[in-house]
Amino acid sequence: MNFRIIFLILFSFLLFSCNQTIKNSKNTNFNIEKKYSNIGFALIFDDNLEKIRKIDDRSLFIYHKHLKKKSSVKITNPKNGKSVIAEVKSNRQKFSDFYNSVISKRIAEDLELDFDEPYLQIILVSKDSTFIAKKTKTFEAEKKVAEKAPIDGILINDLSQNNQVKKIIKKDNFSYSVKIADFYYKDTALMMLSRIKNETSLNDPQIQELSKTKFRVVIGPFNDIKSLKETFEKLKLLNFENLEILKNV
């Protein structure tokens, strides 16, 4: 009998200790920000853009509609893998939802973006992450340099006529699709297809079976930016949270 009482006391003590550990782990848990990622077209700032506050050509700042001011983002050119760390200067600027951001000319130059087809990926990076910790000093140093030096100050030109080499950049065919969302069940993806057909004039949504548990709803392909933009804006009327534009390979 005494043994049973001792056992129950020990068991209760262990259970209490376990609960305390769980509570403490919650208190010391990292502040995990909702991960934002989007791939699509950016708007490269120039002085001809109306109603958008100027971004210094030499800066590493962007405008974004949903991310908080001073958020850190990693911007990547999918075509060549080059990336930079930038900062959201404001989320109050008004521009077309077709563009996932407004970026400075400096960023476009550094990433070697095609100015006629500025396709890029934006990923929100927590300031507490290891990645940002390693890049912060570089980012701050580059901001200071950017404030003093023109963009083309970092370019080295070989003016020797005998040694000039023309770099030929082969442009890919323009072919993109709009990604609506990924779903775990095919039936859910089919329901999304029905909604698009019933609530818009778009009749060509498709389901791509990426795996047994991943079904992607897309519309496309589009071979020109005008039709792509028109379709994208029609879909935004359905209040989709994070539409993406995917390059067709």
The pLDDT of residue 109 is 96
pLDDT one-digit tens code per residue, 114-167? 999 999 999 999 765 544 444 545 555 555 555 555 544 433 333 334 444 444
pLDDT one-digit tens code per residue, 157-196? 333 344 444 444 556 789 999 999 999 999 999 999 999 9
Give the whole-angstrom CA distance, residue 5 versus residue 10. 9
When mean pLDDT is compared over 57-66, 163-172, 235-244, the highest value belongs to 57-66
Asked if the model's pLDDT at residue 31 lies above 50, the reply is: no
The pLDDT of residue 148 is 54
| Residues forming beta bridges with residue 62, ordered by sequence position | 88, 103
Domains with residue ranges and CATH for the chain: 37-146 (2.40.40.10), 176-247 (3.30.70)
Asked if the model's pLDDT at residue 62 lies above 90, the reply is: yes
Average of per-residue pLDDT across 27-44? 68
Give the number of other CB atoms < 10 A from CB of residue 35: 9
Picking from 14, 96, 15, 115, the residue whose alpha carbon sits closest to that of residue 57 is: 115
The pLDDT of residue 145 is 52
Give how far the C-alpha of residue 37 lies from the chain's centroid of Cα atoms, to the nearest Å: 4
Q: Are strands 205-211 and 176-183 parallel, antiparallel or unpaired?
A: unpaired
Average of per-residue pLDDT across 10-25? 40
Asked if the model's pLDDT at residue 240 lies above 80, the reply is: yes
The pLDDT of residue 5 is 53
Q: Sorting pLDDT into bands at 50, 70 and 90, what band is 237? A: confident
Residues in Cβ contact with 111 at an 8 Å cutoff, skipping those fewer than 6 apart:
75, 76, 77, 80, 82, 83, 84, 120
